[in-house]
Chain A
Amino acid sequence: DVKVTQSSRYLVKRTGEKVFLECVQDMDHENMFWYRQDPGLGLRLIYFSYDVKMKEKGDIPEGYSVSREKKERFSLILESASTNQTSMYLCASTGVDEQFFGPGTRLTVL
């Protein structure tokens, strides 16, 4: 089975902490994405990457950065977590016909 995995299902952090969310895919996909999902707002694209070491800003990149050192791994970094970054974070990678999503990380920033 193809898979996109995320390092944590649930995470609780304090304001100001640096937070790393890891995503790994085993499908040799070139394109990977980070979204956040909030009630009433749907999925919003934070960053995406179409190749190793390549990244592009999505719709809401402020407060986030990303790292893609290896093809299979795409990391989302919250440099200094804030309470408004409490959300569900979804990682995805793109195949020929579909986008495969990970199970999500529910992050709470206190």
Chain B
Amino acid sequence: DAKTTQPPSMDCAEGRAANLPCNHSTISGNEYVYWYRQIHSQGPQYIIHGLKNNETNEMASLIITEDRKSSTLILPHATLRDTAVYYCIVREYMNYGGSQGNLIFGKGTKLSVKP
């Protein structure tokens, strides 16, 4: 079972920041928070991951609360192409070998960016 809770859907105006929340109250100390997204009819795409510090890359920012029980993915200037289902996933750090590469996807948040 997925260890995360996300709202089923959200809307965002084009050009505005999209803030997608995720609750992961049972996260353990060695588990990371990963975010992926899936645009319609495509395979999922990695966005970002973090442990406890805030992270930023060219796609998004990840804000993790101090108690690590929740996080927020921020798309700073959403475009129509950001319309997708966004998945928040909690798991141990990916490394080689065994089943540790498996991702457990929940139902995600369907983000609709509107003009």
Q: Which residues of A contact B (CB under 8 A)?
A: 4, 30-31, 33, 40, 42-43, 45, 48, 50, 56, 58, 90, 92, 94-104, 106
**Majority-rule SS of A interface residues:** strand
Q: Which residues of B contact A (CB under 8 A)?
A: 2, 34, 36, 41-46, 49, 94-99, 101-103, 105-108
Q: Give 5 new A-B contacts, CB below 8 A, not counting A31-B101, A50-B96.
A: A40-B107, A43-B103, A94-B94, A97-B46, A98-B94
**From residue B94, how far is it (CB to closest CB) to chain A in Å?**
6
**What is the CA–CA distance of A42 and B85 in the complex, to the nearest angstrom?**
11
**From residue A107, how far is it (CB to closest CB) to chain B in Å?**
14
**What is the CA–CA distance of A4 and B105 in the complex, to the nearest angstrom?**
19
Interchain pairs with CB closer than 8 A, number: 62
Partner of A96 from B36, B94, B98 at Cβ < 8 Å: B94
**From residue A104, how far is it (CB to closest CB) to chain B in Å?**
5
Query: Is A102 in contact with B46, judged by CB distance below 8 angstroms?
Result: no
A-B CB contact pairs (8 Å), 21 listed: A4-B43, A30-B96, A31-B96, A42-B108, A43-B44, A43-B103, A43-B105, A45-B102, A48-B102, A90-B44, A94-B94, A94-B96, A97-B46, A97-B94, A98-B34, A98-B49, A99-B36, A100-B46, A102-B43, A104-B42, A104-B43
